[in-house]
């Protein structure tokens, strides 16, 4: 239960101009990624950008499928690509944003539980939280400095699985 004490608080910003230059850049990259989403069914384009410790930038977007569960969220497209192409390099920061095709999303979207669990795997692997920057198409920006802990305080930890 010591997880609770480590639970982080989200920092809220009212404008992208309040972010550091590096965070602004990453959030803009996530917005570019959202333009490349393949979301003909939900019409809900999600974009994700990752900054790796070696300076490499990775972008991902949601990829849907007519057999709905076969599609994948933007976050997992990006983090699995990072894990496969740069297996030894920690992810420092992840920016996530959305651009719905038929309306404006004016608040941050939270990653789904499956994405949070997947992201947390890489936090455990490198023993380092992945900072998360969240924004809708417009509006407030939330930053979690402690990574997935802010959203998944009771997550499944590897130490609980005695292998």
Secondary element (H or E) of residue 153: none
Distance CA 160, CA 156 (A): 7
x/- letters, 73..112, toward ligand THU (CB under 6 A): xxx-----------------------------------xx
Select from 31, 26, 5 the least CA-distant residue to 136: 31
75 is catalytic: yes
Taking the least distance from each CB to ligand THU, the nearer of 55 and 69 is 69
In whole angstroms, the minimum distance from the beta carbon of 44 to ligand THU comes to: 4
In whole angstroms, the minimum distance from the beta carbon of 68 to ligand THU comes to: 9
**Does residue 39 bind ligand THU (CB under 6 A)?**
yes
CB 61 within 8 A of CB 36: yes
Range 81-111 burial, b when 16+ CB lie within 10 A, else e: ebbeebeeebbbbbbbbbbbeeeebeebbeb
Residue 80: helix, strand or coil by DSSP? helix
**Does residue 117 bind ligand THU (CB under 6 A)?**
no
What are the structure tokens assigned to 79, written together?
A: 């983090």
Out of 75, 107, 140, 145, the active site residue is 75
**Does residue 152 bind ligand THU (CB under 6 A)?**
no
**Does residue 29 bind ligand THU (CB under 6 A)?**
no
Interface with ligand THU by CB under 6 A: which residues? 39, 42, 44, 46, 62, 64, 71, 73-75, 111-112, 115
């Amino acid at each position: 239960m010591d997880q609770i004490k480590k639970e982080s608080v989200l920092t809220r910003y009212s404008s992208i101009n309040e972010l550091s230059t590096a965070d602004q850049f990453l959030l803009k990259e996530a917005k570019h990624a959202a333009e490349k989403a393949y979301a003909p069914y939900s019409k809900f384009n999600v974009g994700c950008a990752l900054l790796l410790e070696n300076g490499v930038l990775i972008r991902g977007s949601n990829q849907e499928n007519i057999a709905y569960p076969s599609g994948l969220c933007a976050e997992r497209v990006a983090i699995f690509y990072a894990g496969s192409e740069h297996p030894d390099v920690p992810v420092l920061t992840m920016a996530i944003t959305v651009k719905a095709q038929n309306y404006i999303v004016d608040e941050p979207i939270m990653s789904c539980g499956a994405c949070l669990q997947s992201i947390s795997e890489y936090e455990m692997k490198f023993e380092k939280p992945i900072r998360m920057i969240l924004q809708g198409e417009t509006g407030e920006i939330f930053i979690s400095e402690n990574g997935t802990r802010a959203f998944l305080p009771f997550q499944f930890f590897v130490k609980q699985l005695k292998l």
